Amino acid sequence: MATPARRRPFALLRLLLLVGLALFVTGVAGLYLLRRVERGGEATEEARGLSSRRRGLVMAGRGFDYEISEGDRKLFHIKAKKIVSDKDDNFTLKGVELTLTRDNGDVYYIESDRGTYNLENEQATLTGNVLFRGPRDIELTAEGLELSRRGQQLTSTGRVEFRFLGAYSGSANHMRILRPRNRFLLMGRVEVDSLPGAAPPMALRSKRLLYERDDRRLHLEGDVTLRRGEDYLEARRLSLQLDPTEQGLEFARANWAVEGGLVRPAEGSGSNRLRFGGSQLSATFAEGSRQPRKLELESERQEEAWVAVADDGGLERRVRARYLVADFDELGRAQRAQGFGGVEIEERVAFSGESVVRRVCSETADATFLASGALGEVLLEGAVELEDAGTIAHGDRATADLESGLADLEGSDAFVLRRGGHLEAPRIVYRREAGEVEAGEGVRALIESRQGLEPGTDPARRQPIRIAAREAVWSDAENSVTFREQVRAWQGENLLLADKLIGELEADRLLAKGSVKTVWRPPAGKDPTKGPADEAPSGDRPAGGDTPGRSSASGGPALSGSEPLEIQAPSMTYARRERLVLYEGGARAQQAGRVLRCQDMRLELAEDDGFERLTCEGATRIEDPAAGNTVTGETAVYEPADRKARISGTPVVLRDRRGSQIQGRVLIYDFVTGTAEIQTEKAGPVASPPAAPAAPEQGQAGQP
């Protein structure tokens, strides 16, 4: 008998039923039979009428010993050591013993030190060491029991204690039984516990317990706590629907400050611990089992319903929502959770201040729990947000596998935030294990200017880089972000076009490949290339003229002046730390109609706005249509401080619009005046040269 009792912690309900039924039938039947008994012990006419109305009933008594039987079966037996009645129809019995046998053969026994009964108000009281015993090891003790309302209500006059099924014991401050409605009520510090040595131990606590036996419903109120081993349920109010055997559960509902937990074996070894909470809980149970099949949790006001599963390693997966539904497998392990009305899913480390490892939010979610307790695939809809390892992603909907770390987001406003910038695209895929974000179907990006497209700009005043491309991959392993197909990047007024753009975040470099084109635009109203030499009055500048060694032509806008500077090349590298921009594979720079070509072109950036030097190497060529001049050489160095380029080669050749040419090893070309100076000796730093005649023959004569 003990084993099934331990499997049924709600057997207390049967105890209450049996106590109430036995006491009512015993008290009413016994005392009514005695209401007209004369002191000589002879039955009244009413008692004899009862006997005569039931064929086969025999009433026999000797002294204060009365018995009702039917055939060979004893139905009712009452004994008392002494009975006294007075003129007010009050009867007092001492040393009372009552025995009742039900139709099913169950025998109930009650005894007390004394009993009283009043014929006028039809109320009876049993007092002094009241003891009740019934089948299946049911036993109850109390100081007193009162029968009132013609035996329809039975109330204890003090605290009651009980044992049942040989496995449980309990107590309550008061007990009341309403016979017509078959309701049993325990009040005031209700306690039920399994007996010592039970495995697992069970404990039930509440301030009020009501059992409606006809409907098989149990209601508990006031700081309700139900524990069985490591499983527990807490609430301010709890209602239970028992199955037809009254030994199992069909349904449970809890209200206000609900919290509970279940411990179940995990897949393989170990265990997973499920906890849940909310303002309201509804639960259904598997038939013939104590395992839950479904939990429904609701929240009120600012509270949230939640379900959390933690493994032995301390990693907890928690699902929060305004309304939450959790499904369980046959072993009572969570296998699915659906959230509605603002869902938040977290993975956190419980033993380190519950620090959040990753978080997913949405309007609705459908999450799968694995047998290990981990979260598997999660379907999210509406205002999706994912936060994981410094990555924050948004979308209209998403599919995520939190165990493998894969998230696929979609939506017209989908974007991902990472340290240093963000990506926008109709579809974004996040791979945690690879540390990678992939965006496709049209990407827009904003990169905070760790590396700027605007040469030399003060970092404090840099604008972010905006990029558009067909697709992009942001990799933690390579610490880079790569844009492919139809790449367009701009920063302020500066523009870059390329087939592929790679941002190396650790090295602080930008690599552009495939039909690279950059357009540098100086800020409005400011020439980023002007240096101190540009501040001198125009009258102090050297004038063009017929000075030997100098060729002159009509002037125009200077290279890298206020007009945009456009540079094209197969590839470009911008190294911010070294303050270098390198174009390779055949570069072409153009500004205000002037063109500079070479194999490789390098910009050395200045601390302030602008750049300090532009260097060309390999097959260098300068075309100045406004002055009518063309210069070819091997290398060229342009310094914007004086607007002059120093071209060297073997030889350097200058041709003008008339077809004349001069050549030498070094040529200084002035972009302001459109004039050139041939140097026959190795030259030092570029300085303002004397005027040179326009005739090419003079330049020829100056050759080494």
Specify the range with the lowest mean pLDDT, choosing from 313-317, 527-531, 631-635. 527-531
Per DSSP, the three-state class of 451 is coil
Per DSSP, the three-state class of 432 is coil
**Residue 494: which of 458, 453, 459 has the closest Cα?**
453
Specify the range with the lowest mean pLDDT, choosing from 170-174, 511-515, 591-595, 603-607. 603-607
Per-residue pLDDT, averaged over 361-381, amounts to 87
Specify the range with the lowest mean pLDDT, choosing from 44-48, 412-416, 492-496. 44-48
Q: Which pLDDT band holds residue 199 (cuts at 50, 70, 90)?
A: confident
Per DSSP, the three-state class of 261 is strand
**Residue 346: which of 295, 309, 291 has the closest Cα?**
309
Q: Which pLDDT band holds residue 89 (cuts at 50, 70, 90)?
A: low
Q: 219-223, 227-231, 243-247, 542-546: which has the highest mean pLDDT?
A: 219-223
| Six token digits for residue 612 | 């300090």
Instruction: Please list the residues that pair with 82 across neighbouring strands.
Output: 94
- Among left, alpha and beta (phi > 0; psi -120 to 50; other), residue 36 is alpha
Question: What's the CA gap between 425 and 415, in Å, rounded?
Answer: 6
Residue 667's contacts (CB-CB under 8 Å, 6 or more residues apart) are 631, 633, 646, 647, 648, 652, 654, 676, 677, 678, 679
**Residue 154: which of 11, 15, 22 has the closest Cα?**
22
| Six token digits for residue 193 | 């516990």
Q: Which pLDDT band holds residue 279 (cuts at 50, 70, 90)?
A: very high
Query: Average pLDDT over the chain, rounded to whole?
Result: 75
Instruction: Please list the residues that pair with 663 across neighbouring strands.
Output: 653
**Whole-number pLDDT of residue 427:** 92
**Whole-number pLDDT of residue 630:** 93
**Residue 644: which of 533, 520, 528 has the closest Cα?**
533
What are the φ/ψ torsions at residue 22 (nearest 5 degrees)? Answer: -65, -45
**Whole-number pLDDT of residue 165:** 64
With contact defined as beta carbons under 8 Å apart, do 306 and 298 qualify? Answer: no
Q: Which pLDDT band holds residue 102 (cuts at 50, 70, 90)?
A: low
Buried b (16+ CB within 10 A) or exposed e, 91-124: bebebbbbbbbeeeeeebbbbbbbbbbebeebbb
Question: What's the CA gap between 587 and 618, in Å, rounded?
Answer: 10
Q: Which pLDDT band holds residue 536 (cuts at 50, 70, 90)?
A: very low
**Whole-number pLDDT of residue 44:** 41
**Residue 7: which of 245, 296, 330 has the closest Cα?**
245
* Residue in the structure block whose two tokens are 């419903």: 217
With contact defined as beta carbons under 8 Å apart, do 595 and 589 qualify? Answer: yes
- Among left, alpha and beta (phi > 0; psi -120 to 50; other), residue 241 is beta
| Six token digits for residue 534 | 């540009």
- Cα angle for residues 694, 699, 704 (degrees, 5° grid): 170
What are the C-alpha distances in Å from 210 to residues 24, 103, 213, 476, 666?
18, 26, 9, 61, 108
State CA 291 to chain mean position distance. 27
Residues present in the chain in total: 704
What are the C-alpha distances in Å from 615 to residues 522, 544, 564, 597, 621?
20, 26, 18, 11, 12
**Long-range CB contacts (within 8 A, 24+) of 367-371:** 367/319, 367/336, 367/337, 367/338, 367/339, 368/335, 368/336, 369/309, 369/317, 369/333, 369/334, 369/335, 369/336, 369/337, 370/267, 370/403, 371/266, 371/267, 371/329, 371/333, 371/335
**Whole-number pLDDT of residue 610:** 59
Q: Which pLDDT band holds residue 329 (cuts at 50, 70, 90)?
A: confident
- Of residues 402 and 622, the one with the higher pLDDT is 622
Question: What's the CA gap between 172 and 143, in Å, rounded?
Answer: 12
Per-residue pLDDT, averaged over 45-70, amounts to 49
Q: Which pLDDT band holds residue 688 (cuts at 50, 70, 90)?
A: very low
With contact defined as beta carbons under 8 Å apart, do 493 and 648 qualify? Answer: no
Per DSSP, the three-state class of 8 is coil
Question: What's the CA gap between 286 and 302, in Å, rounded?
Answer: 32
Per-residue pLDDT, averaged over 209-224, amounts to 87
* Residue in the structure block whose two tokens are 């290339």: 529
**Whole-number pLDDT of residue 506:** 76
**Whole-number pLDDT of residue 449:** 54
Question: What's the CA gap between 625 and 628, in Å, rounded?
Answer: 5
With contact defined as beta carbons under 8 Å apart, do 609 and 528 qualify? Answer: yes
Residue 399's contacts (CB-CB under 8 Å, 6 or more residues apart) are 377, 378, 379, 380, 407, 408
**Residue 404: which of 443, 442, 378 has the closest Cα?**
378
